[in-house]
Structure 1
């Protein structure tokens, strides 16, 4: 049964988005650019990992060509213009801009490419929203320890300064780091080229990510008055709810661990780690025989340094989970999307929630409204930008009804959060502009609203039904639009 038949019952209504609300789409450099060894670009950690481990990717693919956006950026601009988006969220490749990973060498070809892209966006009335780090760490930095090395705070600050200096006169919205949950938690559990260490390395990574973000925010203060931009971090927030009666306490602890650990230090009035998480890890560390908590404490100076390092709150949201405590003797898996080993918590989709074919994306539109309410409750009235939201399929088709109705239902819940709950959401970003290299899934997982033919040397792009729907939502600023008709000619 398709998602459409399960969700089509509720009409979209006559809801309109507020005046000034912005719509965009997103991509990431590594997933679309290709040209992995063009000019003086150095390999990233993902270049190395995919080339050395094709057996760990379902189709054995790499991102050496991907969507070929390094050469076909004009086609991307045409798609964006046709959609009518207000902004385009993309990332700048660290090894393409700084081949050594450090600011001693700035690639003039890299500067040219991103200047050309940014200027073309602005000429077409599209604002660039730029992510500084979307997982494509240079090999050299990775080999020196990556996010588990405290020098990353300095190295990331240097990268941010170069970007602000080169592009900040035109880029007015910056995201520092994409999804610390994936950068640290999931990678530390062995996903992709991560450094596997769930007991200590994971928490060191999170600590350094937060301090590096704050360092970039501090550096941007040197540019803010002249450039008049804004900056935040793009977290990954899932909604969690109790599996049944009696699971409320463990659920709130999971919310604080999975979401608050990356948000509380920045957005709360108190700063620092969420107190419940700090207490829990300290106790579990003592019980395991460690002399100190495995969650490294922040000094008072560091708490103040990180606290308030934002101009808005940004987050990616795809799915929701239910939570219960693991039963005595029950194993707790190592996938942060499903289980939380640190808390001995089991999470899963609720029976009856439709699921995408990638196995982890359960469709629960109400979860978006609920996580927005939780953020308002915990951090107050902050401008919120949803920086990613989308649905995956495995089969190529322009008739993507499941994706279209995922967007319709999630946008409906977004409007309810704005209209009835008073949450100050100011922008929404669909993931993704087009099918691309989906990390460890290769090209088998497709999030795009545009189809890309990866067997075609020209990488032909074509709009799916969801693209036509999203275009009408943007044009009318309303969900009161009919489903479009499209002929599937793949």
Structure 2
């Protein structure tokens, strides 16, 4: 392990959030209903017919009303970058309107200006998971329908024209490689209660490939110097045993996990996937024109979430047991797990950084990674309320040290925006119980709490890491 920092001066130490997790402001200033507004709990538990009061996302943590003070806190934290998303339904409430909602556009103008005033680079996801207008999901079947591509592209053109010069880094979609696990949540495909067969799955994937590439073309036309990526969630996959068959299965599973990035970077479907389409006799609506668009409009960098690694076994290769952020539910006997059953593998981050670099030779951006725990306020040594989240400090330090090692290995890394800057409503549970942030928000599942913000122990720690450009990571005393 290195004993000095290799982070370049321009490295974007940052943090992240997304509109539906923390903005709130449901129905305010013309905002329409999104997919998230009818999913009150875990996506796997299904939706409500209409938005209902029990959905914590409707109020979330009131960032929409409190963004000025919150952004000042982000500046105090010292962030160089902040990743968030634009709520599609603030701009086009149903997704089909002729003209955008000016109040929604003005909110993000003001937000981006506030970030720049604090010296923070906005990293903007054009639409995050569950942020599709509910109308497009219910009336057009989301990205299963090619008409939705055009609605999406109109929205892209609107926001990129509006924020030209304010946003350099754009992300077209979030974690597109897990769309098939929760098609309603991630792609607005309304028959989400039924299993998604391979034909529908790959049609959704293809339509989103087309949307991604056409969005890149639009962004580059408007802002040629913009940097554009599209996020997936990935991690290394290890063979469960030294058996050659397990090693081969791990390779096949890894290749499958990287399929979306292959198309985003290389601009074409890999041969093994075309062979699979033929063998399964899939009847996909794919045109030569669309393939040409995909070929000509590829990403500038590889952006991804990293939360854990996975394991593979030949004997489990046909298992249908999957989870949105877990490659498989097979247990890796060498790794610890958290309360949610997610394995903890910092070395896996260095591993995937090198795998991605060797495969694509494009700069990488880790846009999600973090430590979550159920937490409560306590009185600190200075008499102020705080959270002693030493486990978050230790975990994030381990991850950052492995990024440092990967940079030393020769990997080009643009930045790191951990999940998350502050506590908010969890996407996987729909609750406040799963807390990720440097900032504690006094709000709870029973809708009690003051909504006041409190700095956790990790707040001051991360500020020191950023101020020192990573050098503080090597200090003996971290907190």
Q: Match of 2:257, SS?
A: helix
- Per-residue CA deviations over 1:242-278 (Å, capped at 9, x if unaligned) read 111221211111112122x21111213xx32232333
Alpha carbons 1:86, 1:125 under 8 Å: kept: yes
Equivalent positions of 1:148-187 (< 5 A) are 148-182=144-178, 184-187=179-182
Q: Match of 1:385, SS?
A: strand
Match of residue 4 from structure 1? none
Match among 406, 415, 420 for residue 427 of structure 1 = 415
Which moves more between the two structures, 457-466 or 131-140?
457-466
Distance in 2, Cα, partners of 1:317 & 1:274: 23
Would you say 1:348 and 2:343 are equivalent positions? no
Match of residue 240 from structure 1? 237
Distance in 2, Cα, partners of 1:53 & 1:483: 41
Would you say 1:50 and 2:32 are equivalent positions? no
Decide whether aligned partners of structure 1 residues 68 and 411 sit closer, same or farther in structure 2, where only a CA change above 3 A counts.
same
Match of residue 104 from structure 2? 110
Superposed CA RMSD in Å reads: 2.7
Q: Match of 1:221, SS?
A: helix
Match of residue 373 from structure 1? 354
Q: How many residues align?
A: 450
Decide whether aligned partners of structure 1 residues 415 and 53 sit closer, same or farther in structure 2, where only a CA change above 3 A counts.
closer
Distance in 2, Cα, partners of 1:19 & 1:278: 43
Shift of 1:467: 2.2
Match among 99, 121, 132 for residue 137 of structure 1 = 132
Distance in 1, Cα, partners of 2:195 & 2:286: 20
Equivalent positions of 1:411-426 (< 5 A) are 411-420=400-409, 422-426=410-414
Decide whether aligned partners of structure 1 residues 425 and 298 sit closer, same or farther in structure 2, where only a CA change above 3 A counts.
farther
Distance in 2, Cα, partners of 1:383 & 1:335: 28
Equivalent positions of 1:333-412 (< 5 A) are 333-338=321-326, 347-359=329-341, 361-380=342-361, 382-396=362-376, 398-412=387-401
Distance in 2, Cα, partners of 1:427 & 1:372: 12
Distance in 2, Cα, partners of 1:297 & 1:100: 26
Shift of 1:165: 1.2
Match of residue 63 from structure 1? 57
Distance in 2, Cα, partners of 1:389 & 1:53: 20
Alpha carbons 2:220, 2:226 under 8 Å: kept: no
Would you say 1:210 and 2:218 are equivalent positions? no
- Per-residue CA deviations over 1:284-303 (Å, capped at 9, x if unaligned) read x2xxxxxx226x48555433
Match of residue 305 from structure 1? 293
Match among 422, 435, 438 for residue 449 of structure 1 = 438
Equivalent positions of 1:251-266 (< 5 A) are 251-259=250-258, 261-266=259-264
Gaps of 5+ in 1: 1-9, 286-291, 340-345, 486-490
Alpha carbons 1:253, 1:276 under 8 Å: kept: no
Would you say 1:438 and 2:426 are equivalent positions? yes
Q: Match of 2:95, SS?
A: coil
Decide whether aligned partners of structure 1 residues 323 and 396 sit closer, same or farther in structure 2, where only a CA change above 3 A counts.
farther
Alpha carbons 1:34, 1:68 under 8 Å: kept: yes
Match of residue 314 from structure 1? 303
Decide whether aligned partners of structure 1 residues 293 and 475 sit closer, same or farther in structure 2, where only a CA change above 3 A counts.
same
Would you say 1:230 and 2:230 are equivalent positions? no
Q: Normalising to structure 2: TM-score of the pair?
A: 0.87
Match of residue 288 from structure 1? none
Shift of 1:334: 4.6
Q: Match of 2:229, SS?
A: strand
Q: Match of 1:439, SS?
A: coil
Distance in 1, Cα, partners of 2:321 & 2:365: 32
Q: Normalising to structure 1: TM-score of the pair?
A: 0.85
Decide whether aligned partners of structure 1 residues 281 and 391 sit closer, same or farther in structure 2, where only a CA change above 3 A counts.
farther
Distance in 2, Cα, partners of 1:117 & 1:234: 22
Shift of 1:16: 4.0
Would you say 1:473 and 2:473 are equivalent positions? no
Distance in 2, Cα, partners of 1:87 & 1:334: 32
